[in-house]
Amino acid sequence: MDSQVDTDRDAVVTSERLRAGAREWLARHSYSVRICHWINVIAGGYLVVSGIHIFLDFPELYWGHTGYQGYPALFKLSDWGISWDEAGAMGNRMWGRNYHFTFAWVLLINGLVYVVWNIKTGHFRDRMLPRRDELTPTHLGADLRNQLRWFSPTRVSATNYGTLQKVSYLLLIFFFMPLMLLTGLAQSPGFTAAWPWLLDLFGGRQSARTLHSIGTVVFVLFVLVHVLEVLRAGALNRVRAMITGRFQLPREET
């Protein structure tokens, strides 16, 4: 296919140019994206670590409204070789609770700022909504094959997000994050007194806790894939672009 040939050639040309020390810069990320991104890194990091601390103090998962030590569990850390006492010794739930709720607020406010800011600037519409022609099976298949080819990356686009990248970011922002917020709130006696529908939505407080925990694993996997993609696409250039906003481009092909 033509596009395949093009992208392969692009990649070769890109690496040649970079080796040749070409210097051409592109404004890659707006202020809003960069500021919000690094706040997310801090808040997300604290949320995962503090959430694990909270979990370790009660390392079992249940389904429904009820769950306590001795009640039939879906998951027990003790089945995986870490006893209740060992887990408790590793976790500090007071520290965990204090920082979890603090950074939940940071992430929520930052997320709202990011969404409102980028709807206003047109970032979502122009750069993150997949175009119609991007959503064809052929294109998605080609994009997926590109993603899986670790050693010969092609089409490391300087200016556009890839289609799978767009879809995964949009799912993260508009589906996954709200789900984590709601499964979190469904565990709170205060919020569920105000919004009892939260309990019905997830089938109970313990179900919400289980979904929240599974969500944590999904989030960590997302971050791992995200970091691997950055490494593959050129860590220095990508991270620099997320800090300074400027992305180093190869010189125009003559």
Partner 1 sequence: MSKPVSSQKEQQGAYPSRISRRRLLSSVSALGGLLVTGGCSDAFMPPTLRGGLIGVADVLTMSTNRWLLADQPLAREYQPSDITIDFPQWHGPPRSEEYQQLVSGQFSDWRLGVTGLVKQPLSLSLQDLKRLPARTQITSHVCEQGWSAIGQWTGTPLLRVIEAAGGVTSSARYVVIDTFDGWYEGYDMFEVVHPQTILAYGLNGEDLPIGNGAPVRLRVERQCGYKSLKWLKSIQVVDSMVGFGKGTGGINSDWGFHWYGGV
Q: With CB under 8 A, what is the number of residues at the site for partner 1?
A: 35
- Shortest reach from residue 178's CB to partner 1, in Å: 17
Does 40 engage in binding with partner 1 (CB under 8 A)? Answer: no
Does 191 engage in binding with partner 1 (CB under 8 A)? Answer: yes
Q: Residue 126 and residue 118: Cα distance in Å, rounded?
A: 10
> In this chain, which of 122, 196, 235, 244 binds partner 1, going by CB under 8 A?
196
Does 130 engage in binding with partner 1 (CB under 8 A)? Answer: no
Q: Residue 126 and residue 124: Cα distance in Å, rounded?
A: 6
Q: Do residues 102 and 54 touch, judged by C-beta distance below 8 A?
A: no
Q: Residue 64 and residue 82: Cα distance in Å, rounded?
A: 25
Q: Residue 224 and residue 70: Cα distance in Å, rounded?
A: 35
- Shortest reach from residue 31's CB to partner 1, in Å: 23
Burial-class residue 215 by CB neighbours within 10 Å (0-12, 13-18, 19+). Answer: middle
> In this chain, which of 66, 138, 157, 160 binds partner 1, going by CB under 8 A?
66
Cα–Cα distance list, 154 to 63, 150, 157, 204, 216 (Å): 44, 9, 9, 46, 31
- Shortest reach from residue 71's CB to partner 1, in Å: 8
> In this chain, which of 50, 146, 206, 237 binds partner 1, going by CB under 8 A?
206
Does 69 engage in binding with partner 1 (CB under 8 A)? Answer: yes
> In this chain, which of 21, 72, 137, 190 binds partner 1, going by CB under 8 A?
190
CB within 8 Å of 239: residues ≥ 6 apart: 230
Chain residues that interact with partner 1, rule: CB under 8 A = 54-55, 57-58, 65-71, 93-94, 97-99, 101-102, 104-106, 187-196, 199, 205-206, 209
